[in-house]
Structure 1
């Protein structure tokens, strides 16, 4: 890190209760104040970028490295080596790799997300959505997060990965421990320990599953990884296990938040909900607008790979930069009337799935799940409504998601 004096930190903390409930006014204030800001609130100090053009630049430019776990998963002096197992796995996940490792591993994983593979899964995903909604069809009200948004993504990713006897509750608990660590700008020691225990639990599970897939491979993602290992395209041990574990995590967290916050946004804008009912062909564009309006991932991170100047500020090698995706999605320089939810918006996709080399490879799967869920809800319960007008949001600023979403059904003409 640079020894140069930093510019003055933000005058007021960002992450208070008001920010967690609605971060967009704070993002607007940052954008209007200047293009780049230094904040001590994130990981001991980071540069914040809020404008769409800058966020996209950082996501695409190789001068900003995805390798950033070393200063994140660090041992305390009184407990040397305590998090060694965590760091060994965490640092090998695709999310935190640069070239040449990143394109090598991504090529292997991409085969599991081909359009023909996803189309083959589509009837099974639709069946899972139907099953989950059937379970609450007799109730006057229900919590959408617990009933659908939380279980569906883990059910889908286990189908994709070829997990035949899934431990759904374990998978969800493991994913949520990782999300608690990754989503927190200053993770506590206890959060790090829980995340390590869960990541190691995932790796033990996949170690056993990979042994089975090596003997009797199928046409699934874990089998593809085992075959790629045999061909020397991916390394055994930490590299292989890290991809399995982080696929399970990534396939769960972001989709769950899109389903919950997306439905909350639609029901909070009844004209948009009813237009979708009348014109279901608008649903694909509506899902992309929901991603822009309330991105499940609000920020990501990069390390400066080489000294550079950005908007007059000297960024030193090793500095942490946080592209605020949620802020970029409301940038008026990129989107007309950005604080308005408009399911007919035609200004292109947002950065909710990222951009550049690390663009989300599971984007098509996430969109498929959301379209199936919202499509069935519109057909089954067009009179669906919110029970609570003041939703309870997660306290993890990296992820924009709901803890609960109570719903009720009302008959309409």
Structure 2
């Protein structure tokens, strides 16, 4: 433990405690007030909770690394890699786990296929799907919103966008859950690398023949775009395409599912904001940004130090782990006035829900579009979406903010 840091209360050491997982705003607010850059001996790294420090961490690509296969994370991956080779090899091609220059190679090629224009053309289809799914929920006393809407909408959208056959979509949730246990550092799951490895194998078996078919018979989908993407003579290798399609399948519905579900909970707690959105559909854009700030789908992301440096008076040493808690940053009252208030008209809203810098979430435009259309339609058609689940429970992991279930009643206007 660094000698410069006095010990903070022991209650802050367990980042998978009931308080940290179920009520992260209160947990990290207290920690930020006492130790905004805190050495956590249990996690064996620094916990960063202030807005400016978290922002600086996301943008510091020289001194802070995202590479999960080097530095202090390397041993865990190497140990797992000896048994789960395909899982580790494919994760080693994921954009968010890599630094420059390899990250630049991946991101640049993806950007040639995954453009804002290619996302925007999906809006009519997303509107159609939103209406169809929501109408099937009308007039019922109890609706499983996670299974019947928050999951279903984004999984159909990302599968269609990528070009994955409809008959394969039913398995995506289970495979993504198993993969998420590895990606999100799920606590108490001793078998996560084994189940994650099997999920990766199944996803690769699904995607590889699609990639090879698109090489011969390109279509108007994202896999075709990636297969034929070229930038200054640089192209994807087949395994790079497969691994990043797996990432998009996983992240492409997981993030939006949690964004929609967490937003419904926020609107339930602040019903006046639901009516504001119903009265002014133009607020859909700022409403989604406020959901992302108030209770976004990702709580925190890890980095490690390439070299020593200081952060808010604390010395970060080489190979120290650093957890950038964007959930805490997004509730920092020194940056967000009335941070505890859910305000669908809040603007500007420079939240950190999708990260910052070169690792800003590549799928953010699609997630925003889906959530905008979902909230706008639901608020227009229903006077309230009432949360019925008496005790909301969240997945016990370090990274995501993911409800385990959400039952609601949609009240007719």
CA distance in 2, matches of 1:222, 1:231: 20
Superposition pairs of residues 5-404 of structure 1, within 5 angstroms: 7=5, 8=7, 11-12=10-11, 13-42=14-43, 45-62=44-61, 63-70=63-70, 71=73, 74=76, 81-184=82-185, 186=187, 188-228=189-229, 233-404=234-405
Q: Which one is further off, 135-144 or 264-273?
A: 135-144
Contact 1:335 1:347 survives alignment (8 Å): no
CA distance in 2, matches of 1:382, 1:46: 46
Change (3 A) 1:138 1:233: farther
Q: Can you give the 5+ residue segments of structure 1 that lack an aligned partner in the other structure?
A: none
CA distance in 2, matches of 1:402, 1:75: 27
Change (3 A) 1:75 1:107: closer
Change (3 A) 1:187 1:105: farther
Change (3 A) 1:74 1:15: closer
TM-score w.r.t. structure 1 length? 0.91
Three-state SS of the structure 1 residue aligned to 2:99 is coil
Q: Can you give the 5+ residue segments of structure 2 that lack an aligned partner in the other structure?
A: none
CA distance in 2, matches of 1:125, 1:11: 47
Three-state SS of the structure 2 residue aligned to 1:184 is coil
Deviations 1:128-160 (A, max 9, x none): 222222322242221111110112111111121
Three-state SS of the structure 2 residue aligned to 1:133 is helix
Three-state SS of the structure 2 residue aligned to 1:48 is strand
CA distance in 2, matches of 1:46, 1:319: 6
Contact 1:66 1:302 survives alignment (8 Å): yes
Question: CA RMSD for the aligned pairs?
Answer: 2.4
Change (3 A) 1:258 1:64: same
Q: Which one is further off, 301-310 or 57-66?
A: 301-310
Q: Please state how far the C-alpha of 1:51 moved relative to its aligned partner.
A: 0.4
Q: Please state how far the C-alpha of 1:211 moved relative to its aligned partner.
A: 0.7
CA distance in 1, matches of 2:358, 2:58: 8
Change (3 A) 1:346 1:38: same
CA distance in 1, matches of 2:233, 2:171: 31
CA distance in 2, matches of 1:226, 1:219: 12
Q: Which one is further off, 111-120 or 356-365?
A: 111-120
Three-state SS of the structure 2 residue aligned to 1:392 is coil
Three-state SS of the structure 2 residue aligned to 1:410 is strand
Aligned residues: 407
CA distance in 1, matches of 2:372, 2:81: 47
